[in-house]
Amino acid sequence: MARYIVISADCHAGAELHDYKQYLEARYHAAFDDWAEHYVSPYADLERPDANRSWDSSRRIRELEEDGIVAEVLYPNTVPPFFPKSGLTALTPSAVDFECRLAGLRAHNRWLAAWCGECPERRAGVGQILLNDVEEAVRDVHWIADNGLRGGILLPGLPPGAPIPPLHAPVYDPVWRACEERGVNINAHGGSASPDYGQYPASQLVWLMETSWFSHRPLWTLILSGTFDRFPRLRLVLAEQGSGWIRGALDVMDQHHGHLTRGGVGELRFLNTVELQRKPSEYWGTNCYVAASFMHRDDCARRELIGTDRVMWGSDYPHIEGTYPFSKEGIRRTFAGVDPEDVRAMLGATAAAVYGFDLARLEGLAARFGPTVEEVDAGLDVVPAGTTSLAFRDSPPMNV
Residue 396 confidence (pLDDT): 62
Mark 175-194 as b/e (b = at least 16 C-beta within 10 Å): bbebbbeeebbbbbbbbbbb
Angle at 20 between CA 16 and CA 21, to 5 degrees: 130
This prediction has a pTM of: 0.95
Question: What's the CA gap between 1 and 190, in Å, rounded?
Answer: 33
Tell me the β-bridge partners of 209.
none
Topology classification of domain 7-392: TIM Barrel (3.20.20)
Query: What is the four-CA torsion angle of 349, 115, 63, 36, rounded to 10 degrees?
Result: -130
Residues of the chain with pLDDT under 70: 1, 263-264, 267-272, 396-400
- In this structure, the strands spanning 288-293 and 123-128 are unpaired
- Domain positions in the chain are 7-392
Q: How far is CA 113 from each of CA 58, 207, 361, rounded to the nearest angstrom?
A: 17, 32, 20
Question: What's the CA gap between 74 and 8, in Å, rounded?
Answer: 9
* Strand segments (E) across 240-365: 264-265, 268-269, 288-293, 311-314
Structural Rg of the chain based on CA atoms = 21
Could you read off the pLDDT of 311-320 as tens digits, one per residue?
A: 999 999 999 9
Residue 400 confidence (pLDDT): 54
Residue 398 confidence (pLDDT): 57
Residue 98 confidence (pLDDT): 97
Question: What's the CA gap between 1 and 352, in Å, rounded?
Answer: 16
